[in-house]
């Protein structure tokens, strides 16, 4: 009952703090809170089994917030470290990704220069114990918490390395781990520079600036590809700082408008730019969201860069954190944002839900035209539509199964165990002999998969049997089953090109970390190739940015 008294006191204090009066709207609020408290009290007193009050309250809070939008969330004290990591890109730990294995957590990828890399941990290592804590069968979240900790503290691991009989004992000193926003940069062709920006945590703008200046200094680049594909966004101010590198001082980048006037803000570039002339192409896809969309949309609106790829995610909402009691926080949507042309690119309409509670896209009838600085037509209501639409590579089902079931990961672990010498990154390819070894490796693991056609046919047969139609077409079904039956060996040969690319990237990441994976993937990335071709055609970027409104409007109807 003490917990109930505390909860009642919190409600009472909250009511006094907000200064509720007898006015109708305030009365309805007080009435609702009173109902909630009395319901909560009765539930705890009379429910047949023991309840967990804290969990009930948290469930109630989360359900309430879910009815608004997916970005308005309650952050309990236990999740504050994860939240801080999302905004700062830093945490205390060993610096490694982990994934689930059959029994134990497995090192998926140590970060370059991290404590885990310095201690010699390798992808594929099974984590048997963490400071005596046995990880067998434990959820990844629990293992992760054991690995994290205050920088400077010691950690003792027992790991099992594939191919070795004896377990290894490894001591690691935790450090402050910072995940760079710029995951890769380099020269990709002639005088064309490339920067992949993966997040918008603290210092994203400074990291892009440093990468760009290094490319200028070491390679004297004359063109730039800025890759925002798969970038989920982050801090709005960092999006402004990235834009500031390429557009003049005093340019409006984004404005926000909310119910409360304090959230009505305009964000201009405040510093002198680094380069306002270099031809630029920005790569985007469906995974480019939030701050990534601000950068792409703003550079499009001021006619500073050509946008290439697929329509972006469409998140035009701004969140602010509000401190609550007991080291908890509320992340709440406080405003919508608008890029320089005046458009908001929010795709889903959370305000007007369907009758069943689902959320629909903003209808075409409510999508409006806007114009860029140079007069090109652009649209709101559904992400940033690129100037050049380029289809995304879709892996075949076999490749996805091989990846998801860790066949490629495990083969890369086996490869590294057999090949200690570090290969040259960009020239690395596994070749015919290794691919044959991979096929044998897959067979030895008993791998099997089912194509979508086979799966759909099984469902059709089951439905036909249920409806008593199967006997009428049993011969036809048998013929169809035979024709649609896949052949593992044949499929491994037919889809070798893309399977081999996945193997090459996984293997090279074991020697060169994330930079190796990205660096090698650039060689076969069709969208990067397309960007390089456009930048290599003198004046082509300028022509695209000067197209008439009718042509651009037609391109945007996808």
- CA–CA separation, 556 and 558 (whole Å): 6
Q: Number of C-alpha atoms within 13 angstroms, CB side, residue 102?
A: 3
Which DSSP letter does residue 200 get? B
| Token code pair at residue 454 | 């086979």
- If you write DSSP's letter for every residue of 315-335 in order, what string do you get? --EEEEEEE-STT-EEEEEEE
Helix (H) / strand (E) element for 216: namely helix 204-219
Residues whose CB is less than 8 angstroms from the CB of residue 438 and which lie 6 or more positions away in sequence, other chains included: 411, 430, 499, 503
Confirm if 272 and 520 have CB atoms less than 8 A apart.
no
Question: Which is catalytic among the residues 114, 183, 255, 290?
Answer: 290
- Which one of 288, 315, 380, 509 is the catalytic residue? 315
Residue 335, number of CB atoms within 10 A of its CB? 21
Our measurement of the distance from residue 266's CA atom to the centroid of its chain's CA atoms, rounded to an integer in Å, reads: 27
Specify whether the CB–CB gap between 93 and 81 falls below 8 A: no
CA distance 149 to 216: 39
Rounded Cα–Cα distance for residues 285 and 296 (Å): 11
Q: Is 301 a catalytic residue?
A: yes
Among the listed residues 69, 125, 203, 301, the single catalytic one is: 301
Is 315 an active-site residue? yes
DSSP state letters, 121-171: --TT-EEEEETTEE-TT--HHHHHHHH---TT-EEEEEEE-TT-SS-EEEE
Tokens 């024709």 — which residue?
A: 483
Sign of CA dihedral 302, 308, 310, 313: negative
Angle at 334 between CA 332 and CA 335, to 5 degrees: 140
Return d(Cα 456, Cα 120) in angstroms, integer: 46
How far, CA to CA in Å, does 203 sit from each of 154, 198, 207, 221, 536? 29, 12, 6, 23, 31
3-state secondary structure 485-546: CCCHHHHHHHCHHHHHHHHHHHHHHHHHHHHHHHHHHHCCCHHHHHHHHHHHCCCHHHHHHC
Closest C-alpha among 533, 453, 424, 550 to residue 192: 533
Residue 207 contacts residue 541 (beta carbons within 8 Å): no
- Residues serving a catalytic function are 290, 301, 315
């Amino acid at each position: 009952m003490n917990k109930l008294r505390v909860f009642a006191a919190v409600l009472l204090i909250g009511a006094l703090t907000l200064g509720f009066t007898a006015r109708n709207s305030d009365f309805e609020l007080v009435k609702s809170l009173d109902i909630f408290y009395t319901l909560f009290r009765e539930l705890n007193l009379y429910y047949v089994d023991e309840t967990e009050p804290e969990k009930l309250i948290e469930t109630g809070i989360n359900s309430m917030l879910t009815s608004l939008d997916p970005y308005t969330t309650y952050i309990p004290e236990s999740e504050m470290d994860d939240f801080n990591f999302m905004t700062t890109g830093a945490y205390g730990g060993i610096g490694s990704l982990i994934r689930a294995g059959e029994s134990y957590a497995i090192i998926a990828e140590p970060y370059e220069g991290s404590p885990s890399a310095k201690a010699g941990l390798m992808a594929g290592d099974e984590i048997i114990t963490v400071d005596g804590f046995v990880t067998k069968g434990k959820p990844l979240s629990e293992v992760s918490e054991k690995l994290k900790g205050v920088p400077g503290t010691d950690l003792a691991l027992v790991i099992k390395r594939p191919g070795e009989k004896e377990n290894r004992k490894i001591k690691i000193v935790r450090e402050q781990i910072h995940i760079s926003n710029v995951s890769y940069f380099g020269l990709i062709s002639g005088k064309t520079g490339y920067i992949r920006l993966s997040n918008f945590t603290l210092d994203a703008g400074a990291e892009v600036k440093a990468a760009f200046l290094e490319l200028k200094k070491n390679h004297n680049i004359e063109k730039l590809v800025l890759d925002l594909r798969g970038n989920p966004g982050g801090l709005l101010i960092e999006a402004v700082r990235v834009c500031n590198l390429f557009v003049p001082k005093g340019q409006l980048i984004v404005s926000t408008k909310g119910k409360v006037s304090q959230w009505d803000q305009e964000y201009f570039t405040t510093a002198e730019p680094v380069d306002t002339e270099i031809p630029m192409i920005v790569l985007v896809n469906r995974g480019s969201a939030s701050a990534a969309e601000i950068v792409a949309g703003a550079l499009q609106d001021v006619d500073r860069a050509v946008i290439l790829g697929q329509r972006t995610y469409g998140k035009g909402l701004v969140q602010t954190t509000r401190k609550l009691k007991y080291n908890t926080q509320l992340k709440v949507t406080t405003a919508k944002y608008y890029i320089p042309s005046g458009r908001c690119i929010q795709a889903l309409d959370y305000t007007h839900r369907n009758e069943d509670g689902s959320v629909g896209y903003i209808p075409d009838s409510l999508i409006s035209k806007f114009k860029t600085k140079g007069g090109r037509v652009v649209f709101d209501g559904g992400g940033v539509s690129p100037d050049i639409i380029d289809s995304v590579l879709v892996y075949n089902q076999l490749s996805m199964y091989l990846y998801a079931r860790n066949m490629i990961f495990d083969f890369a672990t086996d490869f590294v165990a057999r090949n200690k010498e570090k290969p040259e990154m960009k020239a690395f390819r596994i070749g015919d002999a290794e691919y044959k070894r991979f096929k044998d490796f897959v067979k030895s693991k008993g791998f099997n998969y089912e194509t979508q056609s086979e799966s759909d046919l099984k469902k059709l047969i089951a439905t036909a049997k249920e409806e008593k139609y199967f006997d009428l077409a049993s011969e036809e079904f048998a013929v169809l089953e035979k024709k649609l039956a896949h052949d593992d060996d044949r499929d491994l040969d037919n889809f070798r090109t893309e399977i081999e690319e996945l193997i090459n990237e996984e293997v090279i990441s074991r020697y060169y970390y994330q930079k190796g994976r990205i660096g090698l993937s650039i060689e076969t990335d069709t969208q990067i190739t397309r960007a390089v071709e456009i930048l290599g055609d003198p004046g082509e970027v300028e022509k695209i940015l000067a197209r008439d409104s009718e042509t651009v409007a037609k391109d945007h109807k996808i």
